[in-house]
Chains A and B, each alone.
Chain A
Amino acid sequence: AQSVTQLDSQVPVFEEAPVELRCNYSSSVSVYLFWYVQYPNQGLQLLLKYLSGSTLVKGINGFEAEFNKSQTSFHLRKPSVHISDTAEYFCAVSSAGNQFYFGTGTSLTVIP
């Protein structure tokens, strides 16, 4: 079975500051990892995904994430956040590719 833990439920950060949203996963098999963003009253949008290869993955809107197998982590980072980054962020894991297991989400609030 797979599971995802997002360690921070809420992260406030000032505009133009860097941010890291933490995600740890648990799985007995090889996994694929994803970050989704959900803006208010919107559906989920894929930010980035790790399937294989380079452990540093770059996504949309300047976000990147690093897969660390030994620490079973897939933390999301952005060097300088904007007001428009305020949203809910979900980490997800999949092994068979047919369903995703999502974390409980991290609410990112960018403070002007």
Chain B
Amino acid sequence: DTGVSQDPRHKITKRGQNVTFRCDPISEHNRLYWYRQTLGQGPEFLTYFQNEAQLEKSRLLSDRFSAERPKGSFSTLEIQRTEQGDSAMYLCASSLGPALHTEAFFGQGTRLTVV
């Protein structure tokens, strides 16, 4: 399977703990996006990378969230001191160039539950 893969698929954590998610994009894709989707809502943009550079971050992204893409390949999204409001599906997508001109491929997501 050469699609976008995310790990883990599910994560249950206690409030206050730190969690880290991983996204492996399609290998030749230079753009990588993180979105968050809560129940009954559409995906919300969090941040995106072009190669290893983080070019844009949503104002919705609190200081507890940090994302990296150190070698321009896989990316990690870390949430520190998790809160119950962080419970959501975290989606990763990748594309070759700007998403307007090429399709953005989404992974199956990581479902986070904070208890």
Which residues from chain B contact A46 at a C-beta distance below 8 Å? 103-104
Do B91 and A102 have beta carbons less than 8 Å apart?
A: no
Which residues from chain B contact A103 at a C-beta distance below 8 Å? 42
Q: Which of B4, B43, B48, B100 contacts A90 (CB 8 A)?
A: B43
Q: Which of A42, A99, A104, A105 contacts B33 (CB 8 A)?
A: A99
How many interface residues does A have (CB within 8 Å)? Answer: 24
Query: Given A43-B107, A46-B104, A90–B42 Cβ distance below 8 Å?
Result: yes
Q: A21–B17 Cα gap in the complex (Å)? A: 41
Say yes or no for A63: interface residue by CB 8 A criterion: no
Q: Which of A36, A41, A98, A102 contacts B98 (CB 8 A)?
A: A98
Return A15 CB to nearest CB of chain B, in Å: 26
Do A97 and B108 have beta carbons less than 8 Å apart?
A: no
With CB as the reference atom, state the residue of chain B lying closest to A97: B100
How many interface residues does B have (CB within 8 Å)? Answer: 26
Which residues from chain A contact B4 at a C-beta distance below 8 Å? 43
| Interface of chain B residues 37 through 52 with chain A (CB within 8 A) | 40-45, 48
Which residues from chain B contact A101 at a C-beta distance below 8 Å? 45
Q: Which of B40, B48, B99, B105 contacts A104 (CB 8 A)?
A: B40
Query: Given A90-B43, A92-B42, A44–B106 Cβ distance below 8 Å?
Result: yes
Do B55 and A104 have beta carbons less than 8 Å apart?
A: no
Q: A46–B93 Cα gap in the complex (Å)? A: 12
Which residues from chain A contact B106 at a C-beta distance below 8 Å? 36, 43-45
Do A100 and B108 have beta carbons less than 8 Å apart?
A: no
Q: A44–B3 Cα gap in the complex (Å)? A: 12
| Interface of chain A residues 16 through 66 with chain B (CB within 8 A) | 32, 36, 41-46, 49, 51
Return A35 CB to nearest CB of chain B, in Å: 12
Say yes or no for A94: interface residue by CB 8 A criterion: yes
Say yes or no for B25: interface residue by CB 8 A criterion: no
- CB within 8 Å of A: which residues of B? 3-4, 33, 40-45, 48, 55-56, 58, 91, 93, 98-101, 103-109
4 A-B pairs with the lowest CB-CB distances in the bound complex, closest first: A102-B42, A43-B106, A97-B100, A99-B45
